[in-house]
Amino acid sequence: MAVPTLTIDDVKRIVPEASDIQTPMRGGQKLVFPCKIEGEERVLKFLLANLDVDTLDTEAATRNAFDEVTARAIREIETMRQCNSPYIVRIGPISLKRVEFNNQNLLFFSEEMIKGEDVKETLLRERQLPIREVILIGIHITEAIKILWNFSKIHRDIKPGNIIKNQRTMNYVLLDMGLTFDLSESSITRFGIIVGTIPYLSPERTQFNYKRQLDFRSDLFSLGIVLYEGITGKNPFLTPNIRTSDDVVHNILTLNVPSPNSIRQDIPIELNDIIIRLLTKHPHSRYRTCDELLTAFTSININEGG
Amino acid sequence: MNKSIYTQHGYGKGDKINKGLQNDLVSGVILSPKDESPDTLSSYITDLRQNYSSSKILLDPQFYVATISPVIDGHLPEYEGYYHPNLTRTDFSPANIQRYVEECINYQISLNLDRIISPTVSFDDFKDTWSQISIFLAQQSLQYYNTLNDKPPLLIALVFSENALKGEDMNEFLNIITTFNAKGFYIIVNRNLRQYQQQIEPEILENFLHFTYILSVINNFEVILGYTDLVGIPLHVSGAMATACGWFSNLRQFSLSRFQPTSGGRTPRPRYTSIPLLNSILVVPEMDSIRRAGMLREIITSTSYDAGMKTNPVDNPWPPEISCLHHWESLRNVINHIESLPDIRSKLAWIKSRIERANLLYNSLSQRGVAFETGFSHLQQWMQAITGFRNRLGI
């Protein structure tokens, strides 16, 4: 996927209300510029839109599956706007805009700036996380899944790289609503295409014909993988024998993962049981509600210093 | 609600239900409109409410009978408010489903019941068209129920063939129904039995245990299993909140043939429920043979009703009403014991040991020449099912 070609000076011209614009980072299909807007630290996100679609209307864009970039950006912004939560990244003062610049058809919007490290970076450095942090990730991301589900949405891309620890609030925050799937609307993803990151897919997400029955329990499975990886340092489905993504999918569908406490001894049994339950192959065996899972997390007996 | 057994009401109730409730043998009743006129049923509910205020009163609307043809539906056609006989697949348009649901729920709300049971249709397979209609009826029931105020909790009804419990198809069905925002489920499994017996294919029982466990233990639904008889014992182990059974064999074990024309049947032969044998055996000749083999004491359940059976069962008066009350007390005592055990691990260990003991007992009886009309292969089937279920749970 192409990413826009823009300099800091270009951004100054496109968004004159932005100041202190910093060197950009690349995030998926987006070019992300840290900056200040109305005195607050924000990020500006730029994408390349498809020229064929000339609308910013949600329904029309969603109906027209040709421009997935626009549709996803609209979906992302809608999700952030609806889900006002400390555990989900918030929309900034500039909502979705379209501009033509240097022969590029650009979409851009602003988001809150969250300073901190994502869980993927932390795991690369530390290999494993403290038990308290894993429980906090569990609680905060379950809260995020819960609020998304209140709007009939599932995230579909929960993974360590999409979870950041906010330095200011110390909350874990779920990022990137671009793949959020709204079960109450028509799909923006063409039939037969699996979106998301394969090692974090739920079993039902690997089956094309399952999409219409997806619910928040699919996100709970992905959260289970994140927690497993956080506490053991290993994604349970990335076993040494895998060669292709099909092997990973096969593992997701069939592998009974080893209990986390068979890898790390100091895991409270309650947390171990929660992770195993989140990783059950059938959604019916996970948790009926996010509230039940939150209760389970808060009842974990954790020793001081854990 | 405490875990318990309920009476499955049907034809010829006499005084059995009242005595069962009065003596705390059962803690609730599931009423059958097929077997009472609307006026009688309504005043009966009023009587039950006045006399047994702590008992649970439910009504199985038996909407599923509407799709049976030819049908023997008793008083059901008198329930014009919600029962529409001879329905076919084409009658289940969205508009009609909405009407059926509203009529059925409204009727139950007009009575003073402890639960509302949604209308449903029976199906043979978790993937067939009828199962989809069953899901639509459930979803519409939830939707309509949510518009109502001051209502008793809603149970979603499911009626399906025991063959549906073969294989893995139940998982996708469970994935759907575990998203329902209902209090629980009222489930009836249509058995393939030609005569009264405890046999059930191990795969079917194992999946039935799992189905119950997923709904009750994992998803915290209230699960009430209709027409379960003695197989209700392992089903309590797997988490059922209540199991229900009545007096005649067709009220203990469910078959849709109950609602179909028959060429007549014979008068039921007296049976005695022996918990040590995990069976209801014939007083003559089975229990009498056991007496002659000198092993009567070993098979006696010891309830408030069976003192006279300990010496000479053939000469002891054993009318259907006493047999029924004894049956309920036997089940109640077992269920109370199961509920006193701390967790599923110990419950499974307990049922396993009871089956092993029953098996030893049957073997001793066989060695002494006692023959049983339907054998005792159900014990092996139950054991196989429970072992499979334990393995699935990793216990």
Q: Is residue B156 part of a domain?
A: yes
**Which pLDDT tens digit goes with each residue over B348-372?**
999 999 999 999 999 999 999 999 9
Q: Closest-CA residue in chain A for B182?
A: A288
Does B266 reside within a domain?
no
Location of each CATH 1.10.510.10 domain in chain A: 116-298
pLDDT value, residue A27: 73
Chain B residues whose beta carbon lies within 8 Å of the beta carbon of residue A259 = none
Q: What is the pLDDT of residues B298-335, one digit of tens each?
A: 999 999 999 999 998 999 999 999 999 999 999 999 99
Domain A8-112, CATH among 1.10.287.110, 3.40.50.720, 3.40.50.20, 3.30.200.20: 3.30.200.20
Task: Tell me the residue range of the domain where B355 lies.
Answer: 271-393
Nearest to B219 among A204, A215, A288 (CB): A288
CB B272 within 8 A of CB B246: no
Q: How far is A285 from chain B (nearest CA, A)?
A: 6
> Which residues in B lie closer than 8 A to residue A285 (C-beta atoms)?
214, 218
- How far is residue B170 from each of residues B118, B130, B208, B285, B323, measured CA to CA in Å? 20, 14, 10, 41, 36
A284–B220 CB contact, under 8 Å: no
The lowest-confidence range among A207-211, B100-104, B251-255 is A207-211
Contact between A283 and B218 using a beta-carbon 8 Å cutoff: no
Does the residue B265 lie in any domain?
no
Q: What are phi and psi of B68, to 5 degrees?
A: -90, 135
Q: Residue B71 is encoded by which pair of tokens?
A: 């049908």
pLDDT value of residue B326: 98
Which of A80-84, A289-293, B60-64, B197-201 has the lowest average pLDDT?
A80-84
The confidence score (pLDDT) of residue A210 equals: 57
* Cross-strand partners of A173: A164
What pLDDT does A75 receive? 79
Residues of A in contact with B176 (CB under 8 A): 213
Residues A76-87, mean pLDDT to the nearest whole number: 86
Residue B195 belongs to some domain of the structure: yes
Which residues in B lie closer than 8 A to residue A215 (C-beta atoms)? 179
Identify the CA nearest to B315 among candidates B294, B284, B271, B272: B284
pLDDT for residue A192 is more than 50: no
Paired with A148 in beta bridges are: none
Domain boundary among B234, B259, B284: B259
Q: With contacts defined as CB-CB under 8 Å, which chain B residues touch A282?
A: 171, 174-175
Residue after which a domain boundary falls, among B259, B285, B320: B259
Q: Which CATH number fits domain A116-298: 1.10.260.40, 1.10.645.10, 1.10.510.10, 1.10.490.10?
A: 1.10.510.10
Q: Provide the token pair at B337.
A: 């014991």
d(CA B374, CA B268): 15
Check whether A1 has a pLDDT greater than 70: no
In the structure, what pLDDT confidence band is assigned to residue A29 with cuts at 50, 70 and 90?
A: confident
Mean pLDDT, chain A, as a whole number?
87
CB–CB contact B220 A292 (8 Å): yes
Q: How close does chain A come to B331, measured CA to CA in Å?
A: 29
pLDDT tens figures, B268-280: 899 999 999 999 9
Look up the CATH number of the domain holding residue B197: 3.20.20.70
Q: Which of A204, A215, A284 is nearest residue B174 as measured by Cβ atoms?
A: A284
Q: What is the mean pLDDT of residues B64-90?
A: 95
Does residue B264 form part of some domain? no
Choose the final residue of a domain: B233, B259, B285.
Answer: B259
Q: List chain B residues with CB under 8 Å of A290.
A: none
Count of CB contacts below 8 A, A vs B?
24
Q: Looking at the predicted structure, is the pLDDT value of residue A65 above 50? A: no
Q: Has residue A235 got a pLDDT over 90? A: yes
pLDDT for residue A66 is more than 80 = no
Cβ within 8 Å, pair B219-A213: no
Using a CB-CB cut-off of 8 Å, the residues of chain A touching B222 are none
Predicted pLDDT of residue A209 = 61
**Closest Cα partner for A195 from A36, A65, A48?**
A65
What distance in Å separates residue A217's CA from the closest CA in chain B? 10
Regarding whether B279 and B253 lie in a shared domain, the answer is no
Q: Residue A184 — very low, low, confident or very high, per pLDDT cuts 50/70/90?
A: low
Per-residue pLDDT, B355: 98
- Could you give the CA distance from residue B33 to residue A262 in angstroms, rounded to a whole number? 56
E strands, chain A, where?
Answer: 18-19, 25-27, 30-37, 40-48, 97-101, 104-112, 116-118, 153-154, 163-166, 172-174, 181-182
Q: Are residues B19 and B136 in the same domain?
A: yes
Q: Which residues of A touch B219 (CB under 8 A)?
A: 284, 288
Based on the fold, state whether residues B167 and B132 are members of the same structural domain: yes
Cα of first residue to Cα of last residue in chain A, in angstroms, is: 43
A118-136 tens-digit pLDDT: 999 999 999 999 999 999 9
Q: What is the pLDDT of residue A305?
A: 43
The answer to whether the beta carbons of residues A183 and A150 sit under 8 Å apart is: no
CB contact under 8 A, B214 and A292: no
Q: Do B171 and A284 touch (CB under 8 A)?
A: yes
State the total domains in chain B: 2
Do B204 and B311 fall into the same domain?
no
Residue A284: closest C-alpha in chain B: B175
Residues of A with CB under 8 A from a CB of B: 204, 213, 215, 282-285, 288, 292
* Cα distances (angstroms) measured from residue B146 to each of A44, A148, B142: 43, 22, 6
> In angstroms, rounded to a whole number, what is the distance separating the alpha carbons of residues B203 and B8?
26
Q: Give the residue-averaged pLDDT of B117-132.
A: 97
- Tell me what the mean pLDDT of segment B86-107 comes to: 97
Q: Which residues in B lie closer than 8 A to residue A284 (C-beta atoms)?
A: 171, 174-175, 178, 214, 218-219
Q: Is residue B101 part of a domain?
A: yes
- Residue B207 and residue B330 in one domain: no
End-to-end CA separation in angstroms for chain B = 27
Residue type, B133: I
Percent of chain B with pLDDT over 70: 99
For residue A212, the model assigns a pLDDT of 54
CB contact under 8 A, A284 and B214: yes
Which of B139, B176, B179, B393 to probe the A interface (max A CBs under 10 A)? B179
Nearest to B278 by CA among B124, B381, B366: B381
Please say if the pLDDT value at position B237 is more than 90.
Answer: yes
Delimiting residues of CATH 3.30.200.20 domain(s) in chain A = 8-112
- What pLDDT does B261 receive? 87
Are B99 and B219 part of one and the same domain? yes
Are B294 and B255 members of one domain?
Answer: no
In a domain, B155, yes or no: yes
ipTM confidence = 0.91
Tokens standing for B321? 């009403």
Task: List alpha helices for chain B, DSSP H.
Answer: 16-22, 38-51, 94-110, 129-145, 170-177, 202-213, 232-237, 249-252, 288-292, 296-299, 320-340, 344-367, 377-393
pLDDT at A63 (0 to 100): 47
Q: What radius of gyration do chain B's Cα atoms show?
A: 21
pLDDT number for residue A51: 52
Which residues of chain A make contact with B214, given a CB cutoff of 8 A?
284-285
Q: Is residue B141 part of a domain?
A: yes
Q: Which of A279, A282, A292, A293 to mutate against chain B (most B CBs within 10 Å)? A: A282
Write down the residue that tokens 């993803």 correspond to.
A189
Residues B204, B98, single domain; the answer is yes
Are B386 and B347 in the same domain? yes
Q: What is the CA radius of gyration of chain A?
A: 20
Residues of chain A contacting B172 with CB distance shorter than 8 Å: 213
Please give the pLDDT value at position A304: 44
pLDDT at position A191, please? 43
Q: Does residue B225 sit in the same domain as residue B104?
A: yes
Q: Which helix (H) or strand (E) holds A249?
A: helix A245-254
**How many C-alpha atoms does A230 have within 13 Å on its Cβ side?**
27
Nearest to A285 among B176, B218, B220 (CB): B218
Provide the residue type at B131 as one letter: S
Identify whether residues B101 and B240 lie together within a single domain.
yes
pLDDT at A80: 83
Residues B9, B107: one domain?
yes
Residue in A213, A273, A277, A288 to test binding to B, most B beta-carbons within 10 Å: A288
pLDDT band at B226 (very low <50, low <70, confident <90, very high): very high
